[in-house]
Amino acid sequence: MSAMSSLKIHLISSFRFALCWALTSLLWTVPARADSVSMSATASQTPATADNSASGSNGTTVSSQVDVSTAWMILTSFGLTRPQTSHVGDAYAKQEKESNVYALTLDASWIPDAGHTTTVVDEDGETSQEDVDPHWTLDVGALWSPQSTTLTSTTLVLPVKATKLTPAGSEEAPALLKAQASSIGSNLSLAYDTAGSGPWQWELTLAARPNWVTTQQTLQQYEDRQGNTHTRAELLASCQGVGASADKALKKTCKTVTALLKAEADSLLVVPVTLDWTQTWREKTDFSIFGAYFLYSSDPNAAGYFNLAAAGRKIGGASFGTGVAIAPFLWNSGTSISHVWGDLRLTASAGYARYVDDGGSYRSFALKIGYKISKNWKLSGAVATQNDIDDTGVASRSYAGTAGLRYTF
């Protein structure tokens, strides 16, 4: 099955999840005097590499916005992601098990100057009251994702001992991996908006989104090219014999699987610090650039496969179209441009990032369209593609698609 066909199937499944959770969420958003409710469905497909398990997912997010006052806004969202098993060969296909990943967020937005007025004196000395232009916005939020458990197959690069006929080397082998993960995080951002009446306006946002991730990934067993099944102890013994002269891919695999063999939980604090600048022309055209640098409490590669721990948990807070992390980011960046034609908005975005430990880079591109069906309803959809290049120069391509619906009361 092609990647695009698989993506289409995932997106259809996402709509089923979306409809179910949208109806459930409406039960509490409407009585809470919600000003808007939105629903989105997303599907993605990422192939396996030598350093990362293959991944794919479909999911949905239902969110609501409540304007408590002119100065305060409360935003809530409930996300459900269903990771798709990777099916690396047939060795462990029947043992794979998918598990839902839930994510709940609560954010409060405060505009200090909203609703305030100031006294203005005209040329004739008469006074009047005018609204103060709101320039500053402060956002504070929290994110919680309970533990999920997944059994998935992956591919390992394993050491091969020298024989009388062949030198020492490495080989690829299918393996069964058990991954458990949970996270708790927060969001703090400060934005300044010129909020003027001229044709050119801009906004600058500085944000930090710390996220505490707890993960336990355990390698259950693996199979060599002769079809023989081996235990964790055998793999650990093989990696203990890998020296400094071994090839880079082999040393990296042994570094990762050593964590998988411990069967102990690892905790990692991830703190992405982002800076976002948006220039607006005549309220019709937006041009944005952003950059983010990632801080870690310890080596993120020592906790196993990072993409399995991060799946569905919004680690990093990157928006759709700026790339999906198949490995821990060192930094990422992106740019976008959007324009409004009547009820239609079209947005094009591109991103570039580097992974830690010279683990490679990615380039991404996304196209999003939004259409205002009526005064209350808005429809949106997007497609994205991402090209990853690992540290050995091997490239892989990923795809993602999303569709959304928003209702404003």
Residue type, 208: A
10 Å CB burial of residue 144 (0-12, 13-18, 19+) is middle
Spatial neighbors of 396 by CB under 8 A, at least 6 apart, are 46, 47, 49, 387, 388, 390
10 Å CB burial of residue 244 (0-12, 13-18, 19+) is exposed
* pLDDT on residue 185: 93
Cα-trace Rg, the chain: 24
Of 2, 173, 17, which Cα lies nearest the Cα of 83?
A: 17
Of 185, 190, 176, which Cα lies nearest the Cα of 89?
A: 176
pTM: 0.79
Q: What is the pLDDT along the chain (409 residues), one digit of tens a residue?
A: 444 555 455 555 555 555 555 555 554 444 445 588 888 877 777 665 555 555 677 788 888 888 888 889 999 888 888 776 555 555 666 777 777 888 889 999 999 887 777 766 667 767 766 777 788 999 999 999 999 888 877 777 666 666 666 666 667 777 777 888 899 999 999 999 998 777 899 999 999 999 998 888 777 777 777 777 777 777 777 677 666 656 666 666 666 666 666 666 778 899 999 999 999 998 899 999 999 999 999 888 776 667 666 766 666 544 433 445 667 889 999 999 999 999 999 999 999 999 888 888 889 999 999 999 998 899 999 999 888 887 777 777 888 888 888 888 7
Residue type, 74: I
Q: How many CB atoms lie within 10 A of CB 397?
A: 12
Q: ∠364-365-371 over CA atoms, to 5°?
A: 145
User: Beta-strand (E) ranges in 297-376?
Assistant: 329-341, 344-355, 360-372
> Alpha-carbon distance 299 to 294, whole Å?
12
- Is the separation of the CB atoms in 380 and 18 below 8 Å? no
Spatial neighbors of 48 by CB under 8 A, at least 6 apart, are 54, 86, 88, 154, 155
Q: How many CB atoms lie within 10 A of CB 121?
A: 9
- Coil, strand or helix at 323: coil
Of 334, 299, 337, which Cα lies nearest the Cα of 317?
A: 334
10 Å CB burial of residue 324 (0-12, 13-18, 19+) is buried
SS3 labels along 289-308: EEEEEEEECCCHHHHCCHHH
* pLDDT on residue 193: 92
Residue type, 71: A
* pLDDT on residue 394: 76
CA distances to 81, 217, 284 from 270, in Å: 21, 18, 36
* pLDDT on residue 319: 41
> Alpha-carbon distance 263 to 218, whole Å?
5
> Alpha-carbon distance 278 to 334, whole Å?
12
